[in-house]
Chain A
Amino acid sequence: MKWARWALLAVSLAAFPWIAGEYYINLTSQIFIAATFAASLNLLVGYGGLPSLGHASWLGLAAYLSAWMSLKLGLGHALTAPAALLGTTLVACAFGWISLRATGLGFLMITLALSQVLWGTAYRWVSVTDGDNGLRGLTRPAPFGISLDGATSFYYFALAVTVVAITLMAMFVASPFGAALRGTRDQPRRMSALGHDVWTVRWITFVYSAFWGAVSGLLFVYYNKYIHPASLSITSSAEALLGVIAGGSGTLAGPIVGAAIIMLLKNYVSAYIERWNMLMGFVFVLIVIFMPEGVVPGVRRLYLRLRKWRTG
């Protein structure tokens, strides 16, 4: 039965552009990007127990690096993409080294402050980043000569990248290293006594998580063909964290569902009212108070209870 469900999901995702209009295809592409981004944050928050409020750094930095190199250096996508990923990962190595001086709330505040450094650079260093105007006039890549300018072709590109990203993140979590990571989340002192290097396990996870955040950043900048400092702001980090928490941190499907919910809310609600920020604030407060475990674990619990009730 399980493979049948996966097959159904695969067929419906593949067939979606044939039945849906361009608006919905684009919306779904955006959900893929947000899902990859939230899933990468979930590695830290859900599996590592390290609440980062600076994850937008990786999305924004990769996007800015790729945009800057193609605009100001005139490099092609075959060069800018790996260079942006490499550059972002290196910065993550340094940021991780500093942030992991602390855990818990301290970690959260340091990641927040460090992401503000990048935001400040993007916003104020006008001669390099064009400040509040953002970098515009970007192009999408054309892998193997296939143009991604159409909604449908970009949809398949984003889908492929998202599937690869989420599969590799799932393998990471399921690996012995992933088990050690969960161990450092639940029992850091015992893990340390067992001979695991807790700090290094966390640091590797930080960098790995930033890498996939950077991948989502490339998708983001390809989709929008534009990048603005707002992508590096606290709000951007907070939206991702809200997605993870809303969906259910520490589950594979949680961040994907959470990111989708946020993206749909943002698109539909902001079409009717201007007050997206206030609404997001209320969503934050309500989710934390009434659904602290998230949608996915909540629904799963409900489903199990229902099944128990039916069978016995």
Chain B
Amino acid sequence: MQYWIIQTLNSLALGGLLFLLAAGFSLIFGLMRIANLTHGSLYMLGAYVGVTILKFVPNLWLAALIGGAVIAIFGGLIERFILRALAGNALGQVLVTLGISFIVADFCLIVWGGDPIPVQTPLALQQPLRVGGVAFPTYRLVVLAIAVVTAVALYLLMERTRIGAMIRAGVDDMQMARAVGIPVSKLFTAVFCLGAGLAGAGGIIGGPIMSAYPGLDADMLPLALIVVMLGGVGSLLGAFVGSFLIGAIYTFGTALLPDLAYVILFLPMIVVIAFRPRGLFGRQTV
């Protein structure tokens, strides 16, 4: 009983982290038609930057905010100075993001070394929550809560604000959006910063669960890809449902069939692509 509760919470926490990663990836792809392969690296860079910030600011949440902002600025620079120069050259943009991800990976290796760096769980959350004789790991509940709050905030941003309406217009019909005077170019930078910031903050918040290690980028990027292709490009709901689905499959797969967990992870994506190429909640084909 206790074991399964822990596994369920692990899967929900992983789903929450995946959502922080995949929501930005999905919005960037949906709006800008850029497959941002640096996204895993932004997550890892966030985790490492968080480790350094925590040395000066001993508060995980503050570190997540600062680190998220740092990664958002970094993402904005990539978008403004590199991706912008390659507008219209989709393959070129993918290759550049891939190149940057190699650079970031090696940079992290130089600065933070090759050993995994554990991140302390905030003191107040180290004690498990006891309800009716069953212990729940508190930190994982908090991560889940953060993901849900972020999802609601993003939903309100997209559905209830003027900027959100503009982004949705851009996702649905870019040319028409430009024609009616929506500043699509500024939106691009804003969405890219937002996506990068979410990924970076996710890396820090995920720190106590996953720690910071070389290869974290390559572990997370394929998961984000699966989530987005499963849920549908540019769809927030798709990213949300996909994240928790993949989080569950990954966690229970690893527990039950450790050898093949990684392969099972891809099966739902393959089925969805084969029979519904636009993804579960997508409005456009990838």
Contact = CB atoms under 8 A, between A and B. Distances in A.
Interface of A: 51, 53, 97-98, 101-102, 104-106, 108-110, 112-114, 116-117, 120-121, 123-127, 233-235, 238, 241-242, 245, 275, 277-278, 280-285, 288-289, 292
Contacts of A280: 99, 102
12 contacts: A102-B273, A105-B29, A105-B90, A117-B263, A117-B266, A120-B265, A277-B106, A278-B102, A280-B102, A281-B100, A282-B103, A288-B96
Given A238-B98, A284-B96, A289-B82, A105 B261 contact: no
A243 to B, nearest CB: 12
A108 B35 CA distance: 9
A120 B100 contact: no
A199 to B, nearest CB: 13
Interface of B: 29, 33, 35, 82, 85-86, 89-92, 94-96, 98-107, 110, 218, 222, 225-226, 229, 258-263, 265-266, 269-270, 273-274, 277, 285-286
A113 B263 CA distance: 10
Given A277-B105, A280-B102, A281-B100, A113 B269 contact: yes
Given A113-B225, A126-B259, A106 B85 contact: no
A113 B102 contact: no
Give the top 8 A-B pairs by smallest Cβ distance, nearest first.
Answer: A284-B99, A106-B286, A120-B262, A281-B102, A281-B103, A278-B106, A101-B277, A285-B99
B222 A105 contact: no
A283 B99 contact: yes
A289 B96 contact: yes
Contact of A285 (B29, B82, B258, B261): B82
Determine chain A's interface SS by DSSP, over half rule: helix
Contacts of A245: 91, 95
Contacts of B259: 124-127
Contacts of B222: 112-113, 116
Given A117-B263, A289-B82, A109 B100 contact: no
A281 B222 CA distance: 19
Nearest to B222: A116
Nearest to A124: B262
Given A281-B103, A282-B99, A102 B82 contact: no
B218 A234 contact: yes
B225 A109 contact: yes
Given A117-B263, A288-B95, A105 B33 contact: yes
A125 B260 contact: yes
A275 B109 CA distance: 10
**Among A102, A125, A283, A288: residue with most chain B CB under 10 A:** A288
B208 to A, nearest CB: 25
A109 B35 contact: yes
Nearest to A115: B222
